[in-house]
Amino acid sequence: MKLALVLLAVVACSSDGKRAEAPVKKPGTLTEADRRAAIGDVSALSPDLQRAFDPIDHEPMHPPGLNDWLDAHPEPGQTFAQHQAAKFPTPDDARHVLYLLPLGAFPADAPSLPALTRLVHAYYGLDVRVLPAVPLESVEAKRRGVDRYGDPAQILTTDVLKWLVPRVPADAYALMAITMMDLYPRDDWFFVFGQASFRDRVGVQSFARQDPAFFDEERGPGWKQLALRRAAWTIIHELGHTFGLHHCVYFECVFAGANHQAEADRRPLHACPVCTRKLHAALELDPATREDALADAFGTLDLDDEAAWSKRRATWIRSGAR
């Protein structure tokens, strides 16, 4: 079985979706015209939708630093038109639930699955359900032990995804596995934060590197909040790939790639106008109502900066007031 996969961290992504070839501009050199072209023509849309896809308040993608994602992987990006032309799966009456599947045990101080469930529901507008945990021993996937760099035991993501495909519930739009075990995508790579399929609607993420202690850093005040934010970014990002979203290159965006933890920590949790328009086409959610729900969810998680951003965005979408 050939999986179309997206790897998050030090791995390029591939897709079985057809898209027009475009020259790859040097990262950080895209113009405002390039970014607006990626959003597409919105002139025929209602005023509120025009504001929802307006780049106001969104930062253009910063030029990448050494070893950042676009420095290592100068991707061409995916416009709204390219996303639509690829005809990726979308939720329907039969498949409309996002399932989270814990693999193995989780310590009491791991990021909260109920909290992530609330956020994912607000983000994608679909029912989100947590399945009973499955012992890691029952997952048919290759493992490797501690390597010469001292990294802990890891499990092979491509094997996990193959194992997940026949286990997708009948009413599921997507199935996301979550584990405390570190991940790697192939023998010659160090790790990935997560990996997902464009077409098979499955993904896997690890909480292992969300904890500062993984990197032998001190668990200072607020470390649990930091770990939760990191877990939130990864799960939002990976689930976006199951809706056919490629890595964003246009704006600072939750769906932009990240090559290391410091880069991921710089990413916002909100989607840019290009990616928001793709999600709107797939999910048909009212943008202002969605931002209200996100503001509530972010506030519940004490992610006050993201909550404030969503509140401002909801007001802008409805009235044009800032």
Q: What is the pLDDT of residue 13?
A: 36
Residue 258 has pLDDT above 90, yes or no: yes
In a domain, 94, yes or no: yes
Is the residue at 22 inside a domain? Answer: no
226 falls within a domain: yes
Share of the chain above pLDDT 90, in %: 82
Residue 9, CB-side half-sphere exposure with 13 Å CA sphere: 25
For the segment 264-288, the average pLDDT, to the nearest whole number, is 97
Does residue 35 fall inside a structural domain? yes
In this structure, is residue 19 part of a structural domain? Answer: no
Q: What is the pLDDT of residue 11?
A: 37
Catalytic positions are 238
E strand spans, 63-125: 97-103
For the cut 50, the answer to whether the pLDDT of residue 44 exceeds it is yes
User: Which alpha helices (DSSP H) does the chain contain, by range?
Assistant: 32-39, 47-52, 69-72, 80-86, 113-124, 157-164, 223-242, 261-266, 273-283, 287-300, 304-319
In the DSSP assignment, the letter for residue 22 is -
pLDDT tops 90 at residue 272:
yes
Residue range 180-205, pLDDT digits in tens: 999 999 888 888 999 999 889 999 99
Q: How many domains does the chain have?
A: 1
* Position 22 pLDDT exceeds 60: no
- Does some domain include residue 204? yes
Average pLDDT estimate for 225-236: 96
CATH number where 241 lies:
3.40.390.10
Give the pLDDT score at 315: 98
pLDDT at res. 145: 82
Q: Is residue 105 part of a domain?
A: yes
Is residue 182 within 8 Å of residue 151, measured between CB atoms?
Answer: yes
The model's confidence at residue 17, banded by pLDDT at 50, 70 and 90, is very low
Could you give the residue ranges of the DSSP H alpha helices within 125-254?
Answer: 157-164, 223-242
Query: Taking the model in full, what pTM does it have?
Result: 0.91
Q: Give a yes or no: residue 20 inside a domain.
A: no
Which domain range does residue 255 map to? 5-14+27-319
Q: Which two tokens stand for residue 296?
A: 């509530």
What value does the mean pLDDT of the chain take? 90
Give the per-residue pLDDT at 151. Answer: 57
